[in-house]
Amino acid sequence: MDDHYPVPSAFSLLNQVLDEYHKSFGETWRSAKEDPTLTTWPYLLEALNKFQDPAEADKLLKIQRELDETKIILHKTIDSLLERGEKLDSLVEKSSDLSMASQMSVASDSPVHSSSSDDLAAFLDDELETVEEVEIEEASSSKGECDHPGSFGNMCFVCGKKLEETGVSFRYIHKEMRLNQDEISRLRDSDMGFLQRQRKLYLVLDLDHTLLNSTILRDLKPEEEYLYSHTHSLQDVSGGSLFKMEFMHMMTKLRPFVHSFLKEASEMFVMYIYTMGDRPYARQMAKLLDPKGEYFGDRIISRDDGTVRHQKSLDVVLGQESAVLILDDTENAWPNHKDNLIVIERYHFFASSCRQFDHKYKSLSELKSDESEPDGALATVLKVLKQAHALFFENVDEDISNKDVRLMLKQVRKEILKGCKVVFSRVFPTKAKPEDHPLWKMAEDLGATCATEVDASVTHVVAMEMGTEKARWAVREKKFVVHRGWIDAANYLWKKQPEENFSLEQLKKQQGTEEE
């Protein structure tokens, strides 16, 4: 069997041959004895030859084949059409590029007609720079050289010239603001007239442990949980003193008397905030203390705005050093301005604050109590500030540029232990010179006279135990015997303290309870 020969064609071939046979021989096959067709029928031979190609037999197959061919031709045609289309696209792109290039070369001569304003901007820049140079030359020849008092965004804010970074950065005013030293001095001097007219000085206030105490919510001890129900609303902060700020994960307690303090101080001082917290913290605290912005304005200096890390300085305060007072709980934060500083007792409201300073005592929140308002640290400091201020502006018409508030402060301090003569017994290490000891210096600052030997004029003996010679002498001569806490207390409370509260028996009692 021939597999290549399609079956339908074979059958159609057979049918055709049969038909032909019928036509030529009719019914004679019935009676035939031998096969005549094989020799005498030429049609058969022809047919066999013709039908070697099956397509001849079966018309269907023929048409099918023709269709296939046509399809192939059509495919080829469409492919070539697509190719042509792509070629046309690339030609269009090339021509548009060429036209742009030609336009740009024209534009360099007449920018007004250019469609690309890249070059218009550049053209304007060039023209303006040449005009600027001419103008600056004229200006500088007529008005003199600009001395670049400061820069805003690295440009001199008087002449606009680009400057390298010089001077002091005043980030709390604007992050791009810098001022030259001369300009700072000029601003400070010109300020004096204003201060004179207003009868005001400058006061720089610390935040943490001075005006308020903050803690992270996570650090709250179980005994402090009750505070959650006592917090004041943040929408209207007046009248409140305990605030919870979820977005900062913090709780803040304002020191008692702080609102009255700020109100009264603002009448005598132009006030600054200077904190070691970051800027967002500083701004948030200012909102709590001064919701209307009337006390501090934009005078909020945070640690991001200071010039030296971990140190506070008056270099970014636009006021003469002779007219600035500082209120802070940490003396070491102000290495260069100890004379302007009033040290205040630390405000520990939260337990975390006590822990931070290694205090073994319970915090105010745990004891469910608070500093006394009329007798607290802020009230005391306010009195001192009033005294210093009064001394400064004593003579109404006097020119204040010669006065120094630091001297006023010293004067106020010297009143505290005036008239006392103090001898120290076994308080200082024997190797060191007693005059150099900070306690000696503190006593002298407070107005007391210090001596190393006892004599009739001595009023107080400072000792740490009763058995010393000087202590026994004092008891005999009916002089006061106190421990060093008496001097420290006078320093913090700005008032001479009753000596009975600082006797050595008291000290023993205290030490006894601590040991227990």
Partner 1 sequence: MFFHIVLERNMQLHPRFFGRNLRENLVSKLMKDVEGTCSGRHGFVVAITGIESIGKGLIRDGTGFVTFPIKYQCVVFRPFKGEILEAVVTLVNKMGFFAEAGPVQIFVSKHLIPDDMEFQAGDMPNYTTSDGSVKIQKECEVRLKIIGTRVDATEIFCVGTIKDDFLGVINDPAAG
Interaction site with partner 1 (CB under 8 A)? 115-118, 120-121, 124-125, 128-129, 131-132, 149-150, 152-162, 173-174, 176-177, 179, 187, 190-191, 194, 198, 270, 292-294, 297-298, 318
Distance between CA atoms of 260 and 267, rounded to whole angstroms? 11
Provide, rounded to whole angstroms, the least separation between the CB of residue 444 and partner 1.
39
Provide, rounded to whole angstroms, the least separation between the CB of residue 128 and partner 1.
5
Residue whose C-alpha is closest to residue 281's, from 386, 226, 366, 206: 206
Residue with Cβ nearer partner 1 (293 or 419): 293
DSSP conformational letter for 162: B
Distance between CA atoms of 53 and 41, rounded to whole angstroms? 21
Provide, rounded to whole angstroms, the least separation between the CB of residue 116 and partner 1.
7
Provide, rounded to whole angstroms, the least separation between the CB of residue 164 and partner 1.
13
Provide, rounded to whole angstroms, the least separation between the CB of residue 419 and partner 1.
43
For residue 29, the one-letter residue type is: W
Provide, rounded to whole angstroms, the least separation between the CB of residue 143 and partner 1.
11
Provide, rounded to whole angstroms, the least separation between the CB of residue 227 and partner 1.
33
Structure tokens belonging to residue 415: 């009143």
Distance between CA atoms of 482 and 486, rounded to whole angstroms? 6
Structure tokens belonging to residue 386: 């009033």
Provide, rounded to whole angstroms, the least separation between the CB of residue 299 and partner 1.
9
Residue with Cβ nearer partner 1 (256 or 319): 319
Distance between CA atoms of 230 and 243, rounded to whole angstroms? 9
Check if the beta carbon of residue 326 is closer than 8 Å to that of residue 384. no
Residue with Cβ nearer partner 1 (176 or 278): 176
Distance between CA atoms of 322 and 317, rounded to whole angstroms? 12
Check if the beta carbon of residue 420 is closer than 8 Å to that of residue 448. yes
Residue with Cβ nearer partner 1 (200 or 253): 200
List, in sequence order, every residue forming a beta bridge with 270; answer none if it has no partner.
202
Query: Strand pairing of 242-245 and 168-169?
Result: unpaired
Residue with Cβ nearer partner 1 (153 or 335): 153
Residue with Cβ nearer partner 1 (89 or 246): 89
Residue with Cβ nearer partner 1 (32 or 101): 101
Check if the beta carbon of residue 253 is closer than 8 Å to that of residue 241. yes
Residue whose C-alpha is closest to residue 252's, from 225, 276, 273, 232: 232
Alpha helices in 329-424 (DSSP H): 351-356, 377-392, 405-414
Residue with Cβ nearer partner 1 (135 or 469): 135
| Sheet containing strand 341-343, strands side by side | 300-301, 269-274, 201-205, 324-328, 341-343
**Contact partners, residue 52, CB within 8 Å, separation at least 6:** none
For residue 74, the one-letter residue type is: L
Helix (H) or strand (E) holding 59: helix 59-107
Residue with Cβ nearer partner 1 (127 or 505): 127
Cα–Cα distances in angstroms (integers) from residue 120 to residues 23, 128, 321, in the given order: 98, 12, 52
Provide, rounded to whole angstroms, the least separation between the CB of residue 15 and partner 1.
58
Residue with Cβ nearer partner 1 (179 or 324): 179
Provide, rounded to whole angstroms, the least separation between the CB of residue 211 and partner 1.
20
